[in-house]
Amino acid sequence: MKKLPPKKFKKSANKVQIASEKRFVLSKNQFPTFSRFITEAKKILKHWKTKQFWVVVISGTLLLLIIVELGKGYELFSKRKQVEIDRQKILLEIEFWNKIIQDYKGFKDAYYRIALLRYQLGNKQAAKLYIEKALSIDPFFEDARRLKKLLK
């Protein structure tokens, strides 16, 4: 028969098995700490149910609402910035067509295009003025007639 190696841990084997398991197994007659937490959780949560629980719930809800509102604010800011960029492009195009009109007075499409751009900016009076100029040059201009009906 082979001789067995000597035991390294004699009586202390019940108290401490491995250094990493030391916190879970304390002694032979005691439950590990994670098991005790389950039974003691009621005592901990009983205190939480009254004061701290509601403070945490309300604080979390408020924090969530603040984050949502900040997201909406950023989205609106981005949309407004895009609207301003589009408005600047329209104004530059109006300036371009005005230069064309200075060189070519009888160019009906330039008047129509300026009327359309003024309508996009919300300036209906100026749009009507340019539509009338386009129709005075060519009374049968269909696109100008449709825009004039839209402006009424």
Question: How does pLDDT run across 84-110, given as a tens digit for each residue?
Answer: 999 999 999 999 999 999 999 889 999
Which domains are assigned to the chain? 28-151 (1.25.40.10)
pLDDT digits (tens, 9 = 90+) for 20-75: 444 544 555 655 555 666 666 666 666 666 677 788 889 999 999 999 999 999 99
Q: Residue 124: its pLDDT value, please?
A: 92
pLDDT digits (tens, 9 = 90+) for 126-145: 999 999 999 999 999 999 99
Q: Where would I find the H helices in the chain? A: 33-50, 52-103, 108-121, 124-137, 142-151
pLDDT digits (tens, 9 = 90+) for 79-89: 999 999 999 99
